Each structure stands twice: as structure tokens, then as C-alpha cells.
Structure 1
Amino acid sequence: METYSSSITLIYLRSRVLIEANYFKLWTSLGQKISSIILGFEALIRFIPDVYIDSMGYPFTYPCFYYLASIPIMSYVQYPIVSSNLIEQLNEENNNNEFIIKKSLLFKLKLISYQIYSYIYGWCGRCSSIIYCNSSWTKKHIESLWGLSCIHLVYPPCDIKQSLEMPFIDIDEKQTIKTIVSVGEFRPEKNHQLQIQAFHQLLQKKPEYHEQLKLILIGSIRHYEDREYIEQLKLLIDNLNISNQVLFKLDMNFQELKNQLNQAVIGLSTMRNEHFGIGLYNMSSI
């Protein structure tokens, strides 16, 4: 794609730092959404555009541009910040603080707060003039929450040509090391903890494979929170005494990723409500 530097202007937004998760130890999501409104105001003050395009997922900024400046908004939604089945999931213990589960009043308040949150999210989304979603799953939830008809499906570009050109590896019983790979960003919602626990259970049930199997966790690191998350996973691995069987591969280039996937016997993913799933695509295309 040819670009012209003279036609592109970058404007630094000082309030960008406010939407980082480390600023909010409690009510992180709510704090980030309120901070995004401040960020939107700053952006509008610094420059008034003809069209506002959001691909980062800041719907709470839409009313600033729509009501204050009558600017048309194009939204590219990768993942809804509230899914239409979120309230059902709140009934499951693994998605809630144990204290809230035990205190029915607080639990009801949490349900009500998410219903209000969902309504506000839909109201903000309806400020959009046109909406694109990266998967049918996301599109379904956005249609339900935003109640608009101008929603289109645009899959991210995926080139499988290089994957198809990878040489076939015949994995037989005599191969010394067999690898199980997981591909995805190191974020809590990817549920790497479950992968590690499942792998540990496999080794417990099949001790004869203890030296043959390796779990390789492949992913990128964005910031300090990701590194902290990885350290928590390493602590779990140490506690389960499988440090020699679990490897981390961080920020790999695409060629290295293809090689790892090509040699693996199993691809592993444990994220619930996966939207597009580039990791799943990578694993299935090899």
C-alpha cells in the first residue's frame, strides 16, 4: 500500500495514559471507559475531523463526536465490551469473586450494574453511522446490543498460501518429543491456567509420556500487566512441578511460529466466547 507522509498527521493525546489497566486495580473496565471519554474530549479539542473512525474499541467516546460536533462515526468492532450472554455467565462461579457469590445482595447489584452498563454501551454504539465486525460472533452480539441494521461483516485478511507451502512432517510413535502448542496473547481471558492444569492432569494420567510431551505457550507481550500474568503462570507451573515440560515462546516472528505449529501434534485453545481467533486460524491452516 502506497502512503504519502505529507497527508498523514499524528497528534499525541496526553490523556491516553489514563486508559491503562494499571491505573485501576478495582472496577478496571468502568475506570477505563470513563477515562476514554476524557480521551475523546481531548481528541475533539485538538482536532475536529470530518469522519471519526474507531478501531480500538472506545464506544464511550462516540457521544462526544456525535452530539457535540455532529461528526459521522465509523466503528470497527473486534470484540464487544459487553456480550449479550454476559449476565448468564455471571452465574458461574469461575467468572466471579467468591465473596460476591456468597452475598446475594451484592450479586444482584452486580447483575443490575451490568444491565445498566449494557444499556449505556448500546446507546453509545447507536451513535455510529456504519459498523464493521470482524466475525459473525461479534456481529451477532453487536446487532443484539446496538440494535442497528448498518452492521457489516469484514474478516481480517488471512493469507494461507505460506502455510500450505510448509513441508509435511510425519509424526509417528517413534518421535522423541511431541509438542502441544497454544497461540494467543498473554491475557487472563485466554485462560492459560486451564491449559496448564489440563496438561498436568494428562501427565498424571499418562506418566509414561512425562518425558515425551511438551506444552509450548506462544504469544506476544504488550505491557507490564502481561509480564506479571506470565509470572503468575510460571508460579503455577512450578507448584505443579512441570517446569521442564512447559515452555514459553514470546514475541516470535511468523516463520518461527509456522515452524512450531508444523511440528506440533495438538493445538490448544481455552478462551471462552472466542470472537475471530487468529490463533485458531493459524493452528488449523498448517
Structure 2
Amino acid sequence: MLEFLLLVLVWAISALSGLIAAAWLKARSSPKIAAVGFFHPYTNDGGGGERVLWCAVKAVQGERPDLRSVVFTGDHDATSEGLVARARDRFGVELLSPPEVVILLRRKWIEERTYPRFTMIGQSLGSVYLAWEALSTLAPQFYFDTSGYAFTYPVAKLFGCKVMCYTHYPTISTDMISRVCRRSAMYNNDSAIARSIWLSRCKIIYYTVFSWIYGFVGSFSDLAMVNSSWTRSHIEKLWKIPDRIRRVYPPCDTSALQALPLERQKEAPVFISVAQFRPEKAHTVQLEALALALDNLDMSLPRPKLLLVGSCRHDEDKERVRKLKEICSQLGIDRDVKFLIDVTYRELVQLLGTAVAGLHSMVDEHFGISIVEYMAAGAIPIAHNSAGPKMDIVVDEDGQRTGFLAEKTEEYANAILAILQMPETERLAITSAARRRAERFSERKFFEEFLAAVCPILHSR
């Protein structure tokens, strides 16, 4: 197994070198265009990364209107007008002009299902191939990655681009390696591997070598923006370019949400969970916590409802939703939970305005835009006690609590019960402090910090 693993890594490095060499030959004959190319293969994922994309496009359009804005996407039905409408309707972002669209035909090479094993290295090499396709079609003066595909940066450099990126989450982290060392089963560490000392050791070698390669390709970035203190600490360790790293909190639309009243209906308390239906979001924890809370709920208190709001990228996500509904039936809470798929931005604001609390259960969430949205809207956050939520968001404001942090199902259930039992004066004190805290992560702050970071690159020759 160890020999096979090393063979795979040698093959990966060789393949990467071959692709980069081919890109260099292609780049020699590709003229640079006065444009900013945004590499974002999934422009329909509906998550915080897509919001960053559209805010970044808008910011660059305002700062350098002379540059063409180009979006490299693998969504075959994407059009300039459609993306403008999506940015406006889904995220409330009004682009200053329609971006040009370059359709990528080989997105399957970065899809997780293409690589049932050695997924990270497979997707990373696939991103090199995809970037080659993109830059062969149009080589912009500035290359901007907003999806975390660091292996594309050497390719963009070879095409003569200035490389900028906004990193939401490191592809590999010391936390991931630590989990393998502890043999902890998780969505990115199969239980069969976790049970085996030998397989775990092999995976540690794989992760260690991959982290070195990841650090090498990441160092090609002229500017690396990161979305949280947690992400910054990992990227600084891996890429070793601290002078080119800037922490820029992601844009959260706090203006519309802060206009919502803090008062809520007491008769039918609503809990909300806003997250894509992906395995790492750990929706099952929320369902189990709700069931446990309902089992221990005082009969004098109203029975809460849970709204699971999110987007589905593909059939696998839709199947995940179906399985979550089955879990609701097994737990006996199917009447207490409602699934809302692909809601519009306006609908999301209305839903947040009805919620007394918001649930979040992803381990090591890099930031957590949905948590900030809860706080701005007046919903008390119950977030996972790790990474971005712990270090940046659910932090006391002027000595006042702004929400709850939890890890185990029992802790989530206790937080749900605490909010249901909470006097109105205490709830309003927490939501007021949380709303003040959320102002630190507004779109206005993002535009200020984003432009301060990119302007030296955008105006360089």
C-alpha cells in the first residue's frame, strides 16, 4: 500500500510538471488581454463563495472600469445577463456591467465523484487542466481565483498573469492531518482508514507530501486574501508568504438584515439553518439535537419549528436531502422540520426575520457567513465551537454574550432549550450585542478591505 501511495504521488508530480510545461508552451503564443479573469467553476453553488465572487467582480469593475470582467465557469447555461440577474436576485449584489463568460467544458475533472480515491490530488490536477482550458481561451492580465484552486496559480503565472486569490478554506490543513493521526472518522477520513493503523500512516504520508506541494503552488500568488483568522494561520504556515497575505472578512449583507425588528413571535418559535446541503455541514447533528431538545421540552413551552434552508449543487446533494428527510421520520420530527431549497435572497431575508435562533454545525468552518446573517437579523447563533465561529464571530461584544458555541449533540440541544426558556429581556440583550458584532462583517467593510488589498496589484504595471 505504501509503495502504491508513493507511486501515485510521483505520478501526480510528474503529471503536474507535464501540464505546467504544456501550459508554458501555450502561454508563449497567447497574448494577454486587458481583463480580470475570475476563475469560479461553479457559479450556481449558492454559497458564501459565490457571494464573494460577485462582490469581488463589482469592486474591480468600480476600481478599474477600463478592464474587461471575465468569469470562467463550468456552468454550461451561464450567460452574462443570467449571471447579472443571479447576483442581484440571489445575493442582492448589483454588478456595474455584465461580465463576459467563458464556458469551461472539462469541469468533470475537478468534480469529487471523478476521484473516489485520492480525491484531493485528483481534483487539484484536474484544476490545472481546467485552468489551462480557461487561459488558452482567454489569457487576462489579472487572474483571480475565488474558489480555492491553488494548483492553477503556476499555470496562470506561466500565461503571464498577475495572480490574486480569495481563499475560503485551505485544501489541506494541520487539523486534517491531526485527525488522521488520532484516527478520527469524518466525511474526509473514511471509517475504514480510521480503523486501520497501517492505512492511517499511509494517509499521513499522503497528506504530508500533498501539503508540501500545496504550499509550493500557493506561493505563486501575488496576493492571497483569506476570510478568517483560522484560515490565515494555516495559509501562512503552508504557503510561507506572510507579506502577501491579507485577512479580508467575507461580505455579509448586514444592511438589509439589520433593518429587521429584533422582536419575535413567542407562540411559534422558529429555528433556522442556512447551509448548502453538503456532507461537511453536518445537518444530521442539528436534527438529532432538535429531537433531543423536544424530548426534554417543558410542556408549558411552545414547540419550535426548524427550517433547513440551502442549495443543491447536483444529484448527490438532492439525494442527501432525501436521506435527511428519512432521518426526520426516524427521529419523529418530520412535522417539526421543513426543507427549503434554492430560495431567493428576498425570501431568505424574510425567513431570517422570523427566526429566534440559527443553527450551524460544521467542524472547522473557515468563517461562517450564515452565522453573521443570523446575528444581523436578530437570530441568536448556535455555532460549532471551532475555527471561524469561535475565533472571529461568536465572540463577546463589549462584554455581552453574542450567542452559543457547541460541539456535541447534547450541547446543541441544551442551547436550543436555553433559548426557548430565555426571558425576553435577556434574548434582546444578546441579539442587540450580536447585531453590533455583525457590523464588523458588512459588505461595506469588505469593499474597503478588499480594495485596499487589490489596488496595489490592479494598478501595477
TM-score, normalized by the shorter chain, greater than 0.5: yes
Mean Cα displacement is larger for which, 211-220 or 263-272? Answer: 211-220
Residue pair 1:84, 1:145 contacting (<8 A) in 2 also: no
Shift of 1:210: 9.7
Closer, same or farther: CA 210–188 of 1 in aligned 2, 3 Å: farther
Mapped to 2, the partners of 1:5 and 1:285 lie a distance apart of 35
Shift of 1:70: 4.5
- Hey, what does 2:360 align to over in structure 1? 269
Residue pair 2:281, 2:361 contacting (<8 A) in 1 also: yes
- Hey, what does 1:219 align to over in structure 2? 310
Q: Which runs of 5+ in 1 are unaligned?
A: none
- What letter corresponds to residue 197 of structure 2 in structure 1? S
Mean Cα displacement is larger for which, 73-82 or 28-37? Answer: 28-37
- Cα-to-partner distance string for 1:31-72 (whole Å, 9 max, x where unaligned): 211211111222233333333221121111122233x44433
1:126 to 2:219 alignment: yes
1:150 to 2:244 alignment: yes
Mean Cα displacement is larger for which, 23-32 or 72-81? Answer: 23-32
Q: Which runs of 5+ in 2 are unaligned?
A: 1-57, 70-99, 378-461
1:99 to 2:192 alignment: yes
Closer, same or farther: CA 22–211 of 1 in aligned 2, 3 Å: farther
Give the one of 316, 322, 327 matched to 1:231: 322
Closer, same or farther: CA 105–45 of 1 in aligned 2, 3 Å: same
Shift of 1:255: 3.0
Mapped to 2, the partners of 1:24 and 1:207 lie a distance apart of 48
Shift of 1:229: 1.5
- Cα-to-partner distance string for 1:234-268 (whole Å, 9 max, x where unaligned): 12112222211111112222332223222222211
Mapped to 1, the partners of 2:300 and 2:323 lie a distance apart of 26
Closer, same or farther: CA 265–251 of 1 in aligned 2, 3 Å: same
Shift of 1:73: 1.3
What is the TM-score of this pair, normalised by structure 1?
A: 0.88
- What letter corresponds to residue 124 of structure 2 in structure 1? K
Closer, same or farther: CA 123–199 of 1 in aligned 2, 3 Å: same
Mapped to 1, the partners of 2:300 and 2:335 lie a distance apart of 13
Mapped to 1, the partners of 2:264 and 2:335 lie a distance apart of 25
Residue pair 2:164, 2:221 contacting (<8 A) in 1 also: yes
DSSP 3-state at the match of 2:319:
helix
Aligned-CA RMSD value: 2.5
Mean Cα displacement is larger for which, 222-231 or 142-151? Answer: 222-231
Shift of 1:6: 10
Residue pair 1:84, 1:144 contacting (<8 A) in 2 also: no
Shift of 1:207: 7.1
Closer, same or farther: CA 233–152 of 1 in aligned 2, 3 Å: same
Mean Cα displacement is larger for which, 230-239 or 144-153? Answer: 230-239
Give the one of 154, 166, 186 matched to 1:76: 166
1:114 to 2:204 alignment: no
Closer, same or farther: CA 84–43 of 1 in aligned 2, 3 Å: same
Mapped to 1, the partners of 2:200 and 2:112 lie a distance apart of 24
- Cα-to-partner distance string for 1:92-149 (whole Å, 9 max, x where unaligned): 5332323222221111001111111111110110111111112222222111111102
Residue pair 1:40, 1:61 contacting (<8 A) in 2 also: yes
Mapped to 1, the partners of 2:253 and 2:270 lie a distance apart of 25
Residue pair 1:200, 1:240 contacting (<8 A) in 2 also: yes
Residue pair 1:203, 1:209 contacting (<8 A) in 2 also: no
Shift of 1:200: 1.3
Mapped to 2, the partners of 1:241 and 1:34 lie a distance apart of 45
DSSP 3-state at the match of 1:50:
strand
Mapped to 2, the partners of 1:166 and 1:112 lie a distance apart of 51
- Hey, what does 1:39 align to over in structure 2? 130
Shift of 1:189: 0.9
Mapped to 2, the partners of 1:223 and 1:31 lie a distance apart of 19
Mean Cα displacement is larger for which, 220-229 or 153-162? Answer: 153-162
- Cα-to-partner distance string for 1:262-282 (whole Å, 9 max, x where unaligned): 222221111111222110011
Mapped to 2, the partners of 1:219 and 1:64 lie a distance apart of 34
Q: How many residues align?
A: 282
DSSP 3-state at the match of 2:308:
strand
Residue pair 1:186, 1:230 contacting (<8 A) in 2 also: yes
- Hey, what does 2:344 align to over in structure 1? 253
1:48 to 2:142 alignment: no
- Hey, what does 2:230 align to over in structure 1? 137
- Hey, what does 1:162 align to over in structure 2? 256
- What letter corresponds to residue 163 of structure 1 in structure 2? L
Residue pair 1:164, 1:285 contacting (<8 A) in 2 also: yes
Mapped to 2, the partners of 1:29 and 1:211 lie a distance apart of 46
Mapped to 2, the partners of 1:74 and 1:261 lie a distance apart of 34
- Hey, what does 2:295 align to over in structure 1? 204
Shift of 1:225: 2.1
DSSP 3-state at the match of 1:142:
helix
- What letter corresponds to residue 60 of structure 1 in structure 2? F
Closer, same or farther: CA 7–170 of 1 in aligned 2, 3 Å: closer
